[in-house]
Amino acid sequence: MRSGMKGIAAEKKGFMITVVMLVVFGIVITMSASISVKIHNGVDITTKILANVLISIISMALIIWKAPIERWKKQGFIYPAVGGMMVLLLLPILLNIRINGAYRWISFGVFSLQPAELAKIVVVTFLAYVFSTMRHPRPTMDELLPIGAVTGLIVLFIFMERDLGLPLVIAVTVLVMLFVTRTNRLVVVTLMVLGLMLFAVAVMTAQHRRTRAIQFWDRKTGENALSFDKIPDDQVGAALLAVSSAGLKGKGLGNSETKFSSLTEAHNDFVFSLIIEELGLAGFIIVVFLFTLFMVFGLRMAFTAQGRFEHFFLIGMVFLTISQAVLHMMVNVDMLPAKGFGLPFVSYGGSSMVSHMILVGLAMTVKLKGEE
């Protein structure tokens, strides 16, 4: 489909407009949440919110200008990128850079980098490379081994940083792409069962994860049900209180009550609950509608892409983003135990915003059928 304007496909225009709307919406919401951050932590993040967006836009522009997707699909780029990413993931652990009990960030003074966020880009491009170079209609076990080895190591290194959220997002993305490539269903189901078992082990072998799982179970069994008579002592409880007190119309932009008391992560991992509390049903519809548009335009681009690598890259990019968004929303309404999932393009977080905007930049350089 062509729009006629400068030869840019309508799918690509729709995709970019959707991303812009998500980013603008995110600025508005995180600005609303920034007041609570100042109250709870004594830090004013308003300038950082705008700085993160600016850096992300510059990163996307540089990708479009200097590093289009054509350069990313070569073997001479992919494998060094994978190796470099693994080293980067291990640096916080090897250098013993521990912040808030986790080895997730590398500090450069004026800013901090979260390598695991950049790993999402490497995983998507690596999967696209492997799937696009396969010789058989369905992946064979020999062709699946590199996927298992590389993504398995990346997930392991991120897990070693005491992060279980991003490994789950990556695992879901890999499973979706295996399904799309018509991988033997028995293999996919086996990997799903194995993944669930490993996830359960990861939860039960760490005290803080066990505590969250117990709190989740208690809320389901009624032993620790949500009460309006007391302030919740965990973020999911605070998020549920925010959602349940919103009503259909919400309390109005900036008028959240829980962000001033118990919902201390309203700007990040629990931004979806803040959206519902302040904007009500309209906020829920806006978020779901925008991410649905993102998926529709992204997949339409994938199925009109001129190359196999580009086709698989776009599918991976779409489902990586959508899976993270869905998991974020599920945690916020207590359908999953608490875990740190930011809402893509909306939540506060420099590394996350940059990584997603780089993926968008790469997507915008994909040539679609009918484009000049």
Residue 81 has a pLDDT of 93
Rounded distance, CA 290 to CA 29, Å? 15
Residue 218 has a pLDDT of 72
Residue 246 has a pLDDT of 87
**Amino acid making up residue 339:** K
Residue 349 has a pLDDT of 84
Number of H helices, E strands in the chain: 12, 2
Contacts 24+ apart (CB under 8 A), 50-54: 51/350, 52/348, 52/349, 52/350, 52/353, 52/354, 53/23, 53/27, 53/353
Helix 115-132 vs helix 308-332: crossing angle, to nearest 10: 140
Q: What is the pLDDT along the chain (372 residues), one digit of tens a residue?
A: 444 445 578 899 999 999 999 999 999 999 998 887 777 777 778 888 899 899 999 999 999 988 889 888 888 899 999 999 999 999 888 877 776 666 777 877 667 788 889 999 999 999 999 999 988 778 888 888 889 899 999 999 998 877 888 989 999 999 999 988 888 888 888 888 888 888 888 878 777 777 777 777 777 666 555 554 445 557 887 888 888 888 899 999 988 888 888 888 888 889 999 999 999 999 999 999 999 999 999 999 999 999 999 999 999 999 999 999 999 999 998 888 877 789 999 998 888 999 999 999 999 999 887 676
Angle at 19 between CA 16 and CA 22, to 5 degrees: 155
Residue 112 has a pLDDT of 77
DSSP 8-state assignment for residue 71: G
Residue 102 has a pLDDT of 67
Domain extent listing, the chain: 10-364
Which residue's entry shows tokens 């179970």? 217
Residue 232 has a pLDDT of 56
Alpha helices in 181-307 (DSSP H): 185-204, 207-221, 235-244, 271-302
Residue 203 has a pLDDT of 79
pTM: 0.90
Residue 344 has a pLDDT of 96
CA–CA distance from 91 to each of 99, 105, 118, 158, 225 (Å)? 13, 9, 14, 11, 42
Residue 14 has a pLDDT of 95
Strand, coil or helix: 305: strand
